[in-house]
Amino acid sequence: MRTQGEIEASVCEGITRFEQEYMGRGPKDIRAHLIGDLLVVRLQGVLTAAEQHLVKSLPAEKGRDLLKQVRTHLLETARPLLEAMIQEITGQKTVSLHHDISTATGEEIMIFTLREAPLVRETKKK
């Protein structure tokens, strides 16, 4: 059984590897927070150079909407991979996955709702 911190670190490693292999670029920073049956992953600096140019070259709303559509489609296509990874790390099935990305800040949020809170080992007090 893992500690909460070990689960969160494994999620960060797995999502970073996924972003590098599937999206072509890893995040500059990533944090995962396990809160009961909710797993929140915050990625910063995820936009590729091509995505940044696309957003800048089109009217603001059109560029933003296009990028969000593409990212959402890619994530939905890869959803089984992500869910399998999260289940392997947490021991729980994913009930739902929510996602959003900001074209202004390059920040991406993924929220996984798990079937139930994963069992975690208490950390040793020093």
Tens digits of residue pLDDT in 84-104: 999 999 999 999 999 999 998
Question: Is 94 a member of any domain?
Answer: yes
Question: Is 123 a member of any domain?
Answer: no
Indicate if the pLDDT at residue 48 is higher than 90: no
CA gap 97, 40 in Å, rounded: 10
Question: Is 49 a member of any domain?
Answer: yes
Percent composition of the chain: helix, strand, coil (DSSP 3-state, to 5): 50, 25, 30
Tens digits of residue pLDDT in 9-27: 999 999 999 999 988 889 9
The pTM for the full model equals 0.91
**Domain extent for 15:** 4-113
Phi/psi-derived region of residue 106, left when phi > 0, alpha when psi is between -120 and 50, beta in every other case: left
Total of domains in the chain: 1
Tens digits of residue pLDDT in 51-75: 888 888 888 789 889 999 999 999 9
Cite the beta strand spans of the chain per DSSP E: 29-35, 38-44, 94-101, 107-114
